[in-house]
């Protein structure tokens, strides 16, 4: 059986890849994808902890289900806003969102 640590390594890598992408990517959709990576790493964490450490309860699984649902709703709203930006300025590069600064 695969040990718990390996899952946690994967999820942590996923988390920091997400943070790195969020900070470096300059396209709104790419930033959104990076944030989704962070949320997915959290889901893995919950499921792994539940499965390996507390198999008699279901708290972690339920949390994951809700987190997936909520993040889907958030993504839908984010994409709607990004589409709106596209309609206004015809692209979604962060460098064009410079109307407001400091």
Partner 1 sequence: MDYTTIFPLMRAELTLTALLVLVFLYDLIAGRRGHHWFSAVTCGLLVVQVLVNLLPGAEGELFGGMFRTTAMSGVVKSILTIGALIVCLQADQWLQREDTHHKQGEFYILTLSTLLGMYFMIDAGHFLMFFIGLELASVPMACLVAFDKYKHHSAEAGAKYILCALFSSGLMLFGVSFLYGTTGTLYFDDMPARLSGSPLEILSMVFFFSGLGFKISLVPFHLWTADAYQGAPTTVTSYLSVVSKAAAAFALFTTLVKVFSPMVEQWQTLLWVVTVLSITVANLFALRQQDLKRFMAFSSISQAGYIMLAVIGGSALGMTSLVFYVLVYMAANLAVFGVLSTVEQHTGGRVSLEDYNGFYRTNPKLAVMMMLALFSLAGIPPFAGFFSKFFVFTAAFQSGFYLLVFIALLNTVISLYYYLLIVKAMFITPSDTPIATFRTDSYTRLSLALCMAGVLLLGLVSAVYDGINAFSFGL
Residues in touch with partner 1 (CB under 8 A):
15, 18, 22, 28, 31-32, 35, 38-39, 41-42, 45-46, 49-50, 53-54, 57, 59-60, 62-63, 66-67, 70-71, 73-75, 77-78, 81-82, 84-85, 88-89, 97, 99-100, 102
Residue 47: other Cβ atoms inside 10 A: 17
Q: b/e per residue, 51-69, with b = 16+ CB within 10 A?
A: ebeeeeeeebeebbeeeee
Minimum distance of partner 1 from residue 2's CB (angstroms): 17
User: Sign of the CA dihedral 37, 42, 48, 62?
Assistant: negative
Minimum distance of partner 1 from residue 32's CB (angstroms): 7
Minimum distance of partner 1 from residue 51's CB (angstroms): 11
């Amino acid at each position: 059986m695969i040990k718990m640590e390996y899952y946690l390594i994967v999820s942590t890598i996923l988390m920091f890849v997400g943070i790195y992408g969020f900070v470096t990517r300059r396209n709104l959709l790419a930033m959104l994808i990076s944030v989704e990576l962070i949320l997915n790493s959290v889901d893995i964490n919950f499921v792994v902890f539940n499965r390996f450490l507390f198999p008699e309860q279901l708290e972690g699984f339920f949390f994951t289900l809700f987190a997936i649902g909520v993040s889907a709703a958030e993504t839908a709203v984010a994409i709607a806003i990004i589409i709106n930006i596209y309609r206004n300025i015809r692209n979604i590069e962060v460098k064009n969102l410079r109307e407001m600064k400091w």
